[in-house]
Amino acid sequence: MRAPGIVVRAPAKINLHLGVGGPREDGFHPLVTVYQAISLYDDVAASDGPGWSVAVTTADYIHPAAVPAAGDNIVDRAGAALASIHGRERIGSITIDKSIPIAGGMAGGSADAAAALVALDRLWRLDTSDDDLIRLAADLGSDVPFALVGGTALGTGRGELVERVVDEGSWWWVVVPSPRGLSTPEVFRHFDRMFPDAGEPAPADGVLQALASREPAALAPALHNDLQSAALDLRPDLADVIAAGEAAGALKGMISGSGPTVLLLCANRMQARVVAGAMGIAGHEVVLVANGPVAGAHLVEYA
């Protein structure tokens, strides 16, 4: 049984559009991306304790050995950053219940960091302003601000500058994680090798227009991921997963972020379940169905 305390839930992210430019002087790549939060979640529980501790439990499809070691992971850094701006000691017991695939291009670590910021702010009764939380989130990682905001949003800069997008559609996805992770830095390095003359990132106009239509058939051809070529070059087997999903009835398959998770856009919930069943029959041990957009990091239990 989970210890009483504050529980915050944060969603996985996907990129409906991911335009990547050549690296900046600081080493980061300029991005134009359209984020969407979908209904796969990690829960972060925070309770009082004599010191600082972080423990992790995982869904049965996540190997515990893949979880970053405690002591210097992103949740440890989130706790330290929040404590520092308020001049207080970092004390508390954190338990992370992980369901978002690890190293899968779905920003599970960023979700955990966002949830930890919200949970610890409540636990320590700090009333940190939204602006300060967003600033802390941006310092922790490019995807962390969106994990706080949720819904659907346009991301620029290195992805940390987030602007909400009106999205009244209901989008259904089949999510096919890979048993082997794929390093985000390595995918970006391979992108640079493949596209040494990359200029400015591609704009997201097509996806934004498709979202306004609320029609999955309009969104499917607009989906775009500049990192997909690099990810597939490193992992050619993922192209077969995309092809199998589309053959099973998905409107469009694509790599999630830097991969290796494959996303399959479906017309509706029923089609998503049919496609998921077909992928399971084809031998994929883990096949998940999710919809979006959903809320960002939010309180689900307060005791």
CATH 3.30.43.10 fits 171-291, yes or no: no
Q: How many C-beta neighbours within 10 Å does residue 75 have?
A: 24
259 closest CA partner among 286, 284, 232 = 232
Q: How are beta strands 31-47 and 92-98 bridged, if at all? A: antiparallel
- Domain topology for 6-166+293-302: Ribosomal Protein S5; domain 2 (3.30.230)
Looking at the chain, how many residues does it have?
303
**pTM, to two decimals:** 0.93
Question: Which three-class secondary structure state does DSSP give residue 57?
Answer: strand
Non-local (6+) Cβ contacts of 273 within 8 A are: 289
Residues classed as catalytic = 13, 143
Please state, rounded to an integer, the average pLDDT across all residues of the chain.
Answer: 93
Query: Beta-strand (E) ranges in 178-297?
Result: 224-225, 252-255, 262-266, 288-292
Question: Which three-class secondary structure state does DSSP give residue 70?
Answer: coil
Q: Which of 57-71, 82-96, 150-164, 254-268 has the lowest mean pLDDT?
A: 57-71
Look up residue 121 and give its amino acid.
D
Q: How far is CA 226 from CA 30, 204, 217, 245, 265, in A?
A: 12, 12, 21, 20, 18
230 closest CA partner among 200, 261, 177, 186 = 186
For the chain, the domains span 6-166+293-302, 171-291
Token pair 């970092």 in the structure block, residue: 90
145 closest CA partner among 175, 107, 182, 94 = 107
- pLDDT, position 2: 47
Residue 212: which pLDDT band, with cuts at 50, 70 and 90?
very high
Count Cα atoms within 13 angstroms, Cβ side, for 46: 27
The rounded distance, in Å, linking the Cα atoms of 116 and 6 is: 10
Give per-residue pLDDT as tens, 141-198. 999 999 999 999 999 998 899 999 999 999 999 999 998 888 889 999 999 999 999 8
Query: Beta-strand (E) ranges in the chain?
Result: 6-20, 31-47, 52-58, 92-98, 152-156, 161-164, 171-176, 224-225, 252-255, 262-266, 288-292, 298-302
Q: Using an 8 Å Cβ cutoff, are 260 and 247 in contact? A: no
Token reading at 40: 């796969």
- pLDDT, position 69: 65
Rounded average pLDDT over 225-231: 97
Q: How many C-beta neighbours within 10 Å does residue 250 have?
A: 28
